[in-house]
Amino acid sequence: DQQVKQNSPSLSVQEGRISILNCDYTNSMFDYFLWYKKYPAEGPTFLISISSIKDKNEDGRFTVFLNKSAKHLSLHIVPSQPGDSAVYFCAASQSNFGNEKLTFGTGTRLTIIP
Amino acid sequence: ETGVTQSPTHLIKTRGQQVTLRCSSQSGHNTVSWYQQALGQGPQFIFQYYREEENGRGNFPPRFSGLQFPNYSSELNVNALELDDSALYLCASSLGPSGANVLTFGAGSRLTVL
């Protein structure tokens, strides 16, 4: 049972435009959501997170939006840069679970076209 | 500040063999989690170690076991290897076993089982 889903395996965006990556989840117990970025031959690196008590969190060019009623979150990157080309993973956890078990989606490969 | 380091980076084993993967956590981090990332999938939680004890486990059989040492480094052991164990094994460390903590990942150990 895939509790975190990223339905777009790949996305191509022109440099300077907005990139929007989507993620859906099914487990209503999740209350903390994160985006990780992964380059080839490297481990995933943390990008941005959001708690379920918020609906938006912004950090520079990156903004994450959370719609709890739809169990949907999205990552907006604006403006997109060539260095943003990577695989992006959405992940979710239960912050009061006592451990950091993250449930990941399958990832979206973002390609920024110069 | 050193990051998470994993060894070996690549290894090839045959079915039925045993393997040990090693992980050194980031300086100041006392919690280590292990994830398995199969090809085309997101990372899947194997287990977490905190204070040298297992602190949560995903849906993996008992032939997946681990250790955490007093210096917070960790090992993942897999016995009776199967073809489906071929994957990238990621180690992540964090400040403590809270679902709201950010994980810092290593680059992974890629295991191929023939």
Q: What phi, psi does B83 have (nearest 5°)?
A: -55, -35
Identify residues of A whose CB sits under 8 angstroms from chain B CBs: 4, 6, 31-32, 34, 36, 41-46, 49, 51, 89, 91, 93-107
In chain B, pLDDT over 90 holds for what percent of residues? 83
Model pLDDT, residue A97 = 65
pLDDT tens digit sequence for B25-43:
998 899 999 999 999 999 9
Contact A99 B90 (CB under 8 A): no
Model pLDDT, residue B49 = 94
Residue of A nearest to B89 (CA): A43
Query: How far is Cα B49 from Cα A84, in angstroms, rounded to an integer?
Result: 32
Residue of A nearest to B104 (CA): A45
State the smallest CA–CA distance between residue A20 and chain B in angstroms: 19
Kindly list the residues from chain A whose CB atom is less than 8 angstroms away from the CB atom of residue B100: 32, 51, 93, 95
Range of lowest pLDDT (A82-91, A99-108, B2-11, B105-114): A99-108
Residue B60's pLDDT band, with cuts at 50, 70 and 90, is very high
Query: How far is Cα B50 from Cα B29, in angstroms, rounded to an integer?
Result: 10
Average pLDDT rounded to a whole number, residues B55-71? 95
Q: What is the DSSP letter of B107?
A: -
Kindly list the residues from chain B whose CB atom is less than 8 angstroms away from the CB atom of residue A86: none
Kindly list the residues from chain A whose CB atom is less than 8 angstroms away from the CB atom of residue B31: 100
Q: Which is nearest to B72 in space by CA: B101, B47, B50, B48?
A: B50
Kindly list the residues from chain B whose CB atom is less than 8 angstroms away from the CB atom of residue A34: 102
Query: Taking 90 as the threshold, does the pLDDT of residue B111 lie above it?
Result: yes
Return the biggest CA–CA distance within chain A.
44
Kindly list the residues from chain B whose CB atom is less than 8 angstroms away from the CB atom of residue A35: none
Model pLDDT, residue B95 = 87
Model pLDDT, residue A11 = 97
Contact B107 A42 (CB under 8 A): yes
Model pLDDT, residue A112 = 98
Residue B97's pLDDT band, with cuts at 50, 70 and 90, is confident
Size of interface A-B (CB pairs under 8 A): 80
B33 touches chain A (CB under 8 A): yes
Kindly list the residues from chain B whose CB atom is less than 8 angstroms away from the CB atom of residue A101: 33, 45, 48, 56, 58, 99
Q: Which is nearest to B108 in space by CA: B13, B6, B36, B4?
A: B6
Q: The dihedral of CA B55, A49, B28, B105: what is its sign?
A: positive
CA A89 vs CA A43, A114, B22, B25: distances in Å: 12, 23, 24, 22
Half-sphere exposure of residue B97, counting CA atoms within 13 Å on the CB side? Answer: 18
Residue B100's pLDDT band, with cuts at 50, 70 and 90, is low
Average pLDDT rounded to a whole number, residues B8-12? 97
Structure tokens at A44: 């995933």
Average pLDDT rounded to a whole number, residues B84-108? 89
Average pLDDT rounded to a whole number, residues B58-74? 95
Higher pLDDT, A41 or B2: A41
Output the tens digit of pLDDT for each of chain A's 114 residues: 789 999 999 999 999 999 999 999 999 999 999 999 999 989 999 999 999 999 999 999 999 999 999 999 999 999 999 999 999 999 999 876 666 789 999 999 999 999
Query: Taking 80 as the threshold, does the pLDDT of residue B99 lie above it?
Result: no
